[in-house]
Structure 1
Amino acid sequence: MATTLSRRLRVGYASGGVATGSFGTVPGLLLLPYLTDALGVGALLAGAVVFLPKALDVLLNPVTGRLSDRLAGRHGRRPFLLVGGLGLAVGFVLLFSGPPAPEAVAVAWVVVAFALCAVAYSAFQVPFVALPAELTDDPHERTVLLTWRVAVLAVAILVSGASAPAIRDAVGGTAGYRAMAVAVGLLIALGALGAWAGTRSAAGSVVPAPPGGLGRHLRLALGVHDFRVLLATFVLQALAIGCMLAAVDYLAREVLARPGASAVLFACFVGPALLVTPLWGRLADRAGKKRGYQLASALLGLAAAGAVLAGRVPVGVVFALAAVAGVGYAGCQLFPMAMLPDTAADDARRTGENRVGVLTGVWTAGETLGLALGPAVLALLLAVGGYVSTRGDDVGQPPGALTAITLGFSLVPAVLVAVSLLTLRGHGRDAVPSPAPTPSLEEPR
């Protein structure tokens, strides 16, 4: 079944990127500074607080994927988008809205709120990522669909990531974090509602979910070679990007000594995606998704490595390096997202069993793990460097802390991206639908 998707469906599906982009960006950008510089939590403890609730998704996402597989034939995956998306919006507002309290109570509030966010995000993200494999069997059409999604995702990341620190700084203090949370929470809710409403008329095909427990399907999913290689590559890069995003605010304030530059630096990193994502999509059609992914990864890694000069070169050079890294980052979002549904659909076609949800559940679990470990790695670097946590006071940071921040934005991500290029070499050819007949299909809606 080669289905050309309507523009309305493409826009509707892509709007879900507003929710995933906003939530995937802002906590990674501001939660660690919120803990260390607004609540006065030590760097090591703050790193654990950022990591542990998100680690819940590593266990939860495959379960969500299996559940959505079971329900897809009867109810479709859209109910997950509505319930999970709205729950995520509420949880995000709560995350930055804790009452003035002693450190232990404040930390407990953040942990519980972040855990609620993790559950809601799993309910939204896993079915959302699974949908492209079921909407069409045409790999080119999936690339087009994912190009729309990445373009919207880039806008969401840019708007939320640039406006969040600006709102925080304009209002000031913990009240600034609360105002920011309300604004971003509204973005998340709008994105979730857009995806739910925009895919209402989708006419795709779902391979019936097979019997058997989650453990069996996890083993089979991880036994798919190309999926395993692609997952390892993506997790390493998510870890690299998570570390870079967590370091942005610290780099602007402490290394560049320009507190208001957080939004500019972030915009330089994300903004290029608005221009280059369609170009990456064209490259996928001409040179193949794997080759495009390798080129994008190389750009990201090289530009990140160059940023080790931050603080010793003009600020404009750092912004330019961030922009080059952003060009690579756009491709590193598009290509694996386009390759995943190809792999999932091919697995369903070969086996006659629907493990799309399980595959995407494992995928999003890996992505979540990488993005959660990124800030944790930065927190560890800060602790080793002697970073001084405060409750809103301006203090001078020791040289070791400045070095830790710079490394967290530059060489550490660059090394991770270099390793990911080695894993990507093991991926096979770009997925192409097999002409073999597909198993009997059911309408998902």
Structure 2
Amino acid sequence: MTLRRGTVARYAVGSVGTGGFATLPGLVLVFYLTDTLGVAAGVAGLLVTAAKVWDVVVDPLIGAASDRERATTGRRRRLMVTGGVALPVFFVLTFAAPAGLAPAPSAIWVMLAYLLAATAFSLFQVPYIALPAEIADTYDARTRLLTARVVVLTAAILLFGGGGPALRELGGDDERLGYLLMAVAAALVLGAAMLGASTVERSAGVRAAPTGDPVPGRNALVHYRQGVALLRTSRPFRTLLGAFVLQALATGAMLAAAQYVATWVLHDTSAVTFLFVALVGPALVFAPLWGRLAHRVGKERAFLGASALFVVASLALVGLAWAPGTWVYAPVAVAGAAYAGMQSLPMAMLPDVVAHDARTRGTGRAGSFGGVWTAGETTGMALGTTLLTVVLASTGYLASTDAQAVTQPASAVLGVVAGFSAVPALLVAASLVPLGRYPLRRSDVDAATTDPLGPAPTPTVQENP
């Protein structure tokens, strides 16, 4: 099956939605809770984590529902459309806590709205992750598809990470109004991108007809057991997911710490925009380069190289504790170049894992893989934020409302630096252990398509007129 440019473009645009939702709340939500709503740092971290723990519960069910839709209709579109419609509403509500509420009810408001937003996001994200194994059927085609996705993802991170805080400043002295303006603008872009990507199966020529795969049942316990079984029976999935979750922890902590670094280390709240430009700008260039390197040496080796480079760059940021200054943008840029590979390569490896599983164990589990992957990714990002709040709480960080001014103790500033540098470096270094055990190589993956004795089924396609 030929992978057409239109298919690549439609799939990649979905990353505007996934990248935006992953970036903006991770950047500003905890800061919104602690420095606008007056919620204590530890409590703020628990609230964000509670919403993400819900993902662990619901994502395997969404994965099974997506596989059920695929088996009965031949497509995964309906869940994606539902998520694309619902997410903007709940995203706006997350940043619309009514003025005058005390910190406790404000925190509950944010948690419930964010939980619903996260659920809507999963309705889109889980089937979206399952699609590459079905619309691209070779090792290199998946690299091309996912590299394009990460280029768009990188641009989305830059757009939301830099533009979101800038829009927030339009509220002037009214911080709540600024957050609301930011949320409305972001929600419109998120919804449009997700709905646009929901048409990718039609672009790829996948017929809206049943696939013939077994239809998953509706017993929730069975789906949780299947998720555990995927981890137990698929060593490639277990090692890849283990590395990716540790790196999600790292990037979640670094992302959440960026606003604190700008405010309390660099003493310029607008510096968060420049941090994001430094982080994401190089990634726009390096994402295709990591794809080329993967074509030459293999995805797993390129992934190892990107991760090691990120460790070195993150450790360099420890110097902020003694000499804060504009020099910080140089190592952040190096980390951004590495981050491009840390995003594009594992996402290109996941459909390889799905194809290998189909070749060795049977078909129809792409949605289940997507559900477990999304649960791991979102939980990792959320726990990264929680880890930062634990560091802040343990070092004496002082919460405040938009009407208060505080001075942070030196220990809290040191905690901010650690959350931005040493903590991410250690987590990514730890991810090298499972990554080093990842077993698949190009020959293993392409055998799933070319072996005449038992190739993994590919989706029924038709030529466009």
In the alignment, the residues of structure 2 paired with residue 12 and residue 145 of structure 1 have an alpha-carbon distance, to the nearest angstrom, of 10
The 1-side partners of 2:318 and 2:274 are apart by 18
Matched, 1:218 2:227: yes
Deviation, 1:214, is 1.5
1:405 matched to 2:443: no
Partner of 1:92: 91
Pick one of 62, 65, 71 that aligns with 2:63. Answer: 65
Gaps of 5+ in 2: none
1:121-132 matched pairs, under 5 angstroms? 121-132=121-132
RMSD: 1.7
Letter in 1 for 2:214: A
In 1: Cα distance, 2:319 partner to 2:8 partner:
41
Are residue 417 (structure 1) and residue 395 (structure 2) matched?
no
What is the TM-score when the length of structure 1 is the normalising length?
A: 0.96
After superposition, give the CA deviation of every residue in 1:315-369 in whole Å (9 maximum; x if it has no partner).
Answer: 2321111100001110000110000000011111222221111111111100011
Aligned to 2:102: 102
- 1:6 aligns to what? 4
Determine if the alignment matches structure 1 residue 345 to structure 2 residue 355. yes
Change (3 A) 1:440 1:362: closer
Amino acid at match of 1:120: A
Q: Of 269, 280, 286, which aligns to 1:259?
A: 269
Match of 2:135?
135
Verify the 8 A CA contact 1:39 1:106 in the aligned structure 2: yes
Conserved? CA contact 1:207–1:354, under 8 Å? no
Cα distance in structure 1, aligned partners of 2:419 and 2:456: 48
Out of 160-169 and 28-37, give the one that drifted further.
160-169
Taking structure 1 as reference, are residues 229 and 195 closer, same or farther at Cα in structure 2, changes over 3 Å only? same
C-alpha change, 1:442 and 1:281, in structure 2 (3 Å) is closer
Aligned to 1:208: 213
Partner SS, residue 441 of structure 2:
coil
Return the offset for 1:197. 3.0
* Aligned counterparts of 1:50 and 1:110: Cα–Cα separation in 2: 9
Is 1:294–2:304 an aligned residue pair?
yes
What aligned pairs does 1:388-399 form with structure 2 within 5 A after superposition?
Answer: 388-392=398-402, 393-399=404-410
Instruction: Say which of 441, 446, 451 aligns to 1:430.
Output: 441
1:442, 1:299 → 2: CA distance?
A: 38
CA distance in 2 between counterparts of 1:151 and 1:207 reads 35
1:202, CA displacement in angstroms?
2.2
Is the 8 Å Cα contact of residues 71 and 77 (structure 1) preserved in structure 2? yes
Q: Deviations over 1:58-89 (max 9, x none)?
A: 11111111111111033311111111122111
Letter in 1 for 2:227: L
Aligned: 1:281 with 2:298: no
- For 2:458 and 2:145, the matched residues in 1 are separated by 22
Instruction: Tell me how far 1:198 sits from its aligned partner.
Output: 4.1
Any idea what the Cα deviations from partners look like across 1:286-333, whole Å, max 9, x if unmatched?
010001000100111111111011153352321111100001110000
Identity %: 45
Q: Which runs of 5+ in 1 are unaligned?
A: none
Quote the Cα distance in structure 2 between the aligned partners of 1:246 and 1:210. 40
Task: Assess, with a 3 A threshold, how the Cα gap between structure 1 residues 287 and 313 changes in structure 2: closer, same or farther.
Answer: same
Indicate the residue corresponding to 1:40 in structure 2: 38
Which residue is 2:184 aligned to? 182
Shift of 1:271: 1.5
Distance (whole Å) between structure 2 residues aligned to residue 115 and residue 444 of structure 1: 37
Native 8 Å contact 1:12 1:199 kept in 2: no
Corresponding position of 2:341: 331
What is the TM-score with the length of structure 2 in the denominator?
0.92
Q: What SS does the corresponding residue of 1:271 show, helix, strand or coil?
A: helix
Quick one: structure 1 residues 313 and 185, their matched pair in 2 at CA, closer, same or farther if it must change by over 3 Å? Answer: same
Q: 2:254 aligns with which of 244, 251, 269?
A: 244
- Distance in 1 (alpha carbons) for counterparts of 2:215 and 2:198: 26
| Paired residues of 1:256 and 1:311 also in contact (CA < 8 A) | no
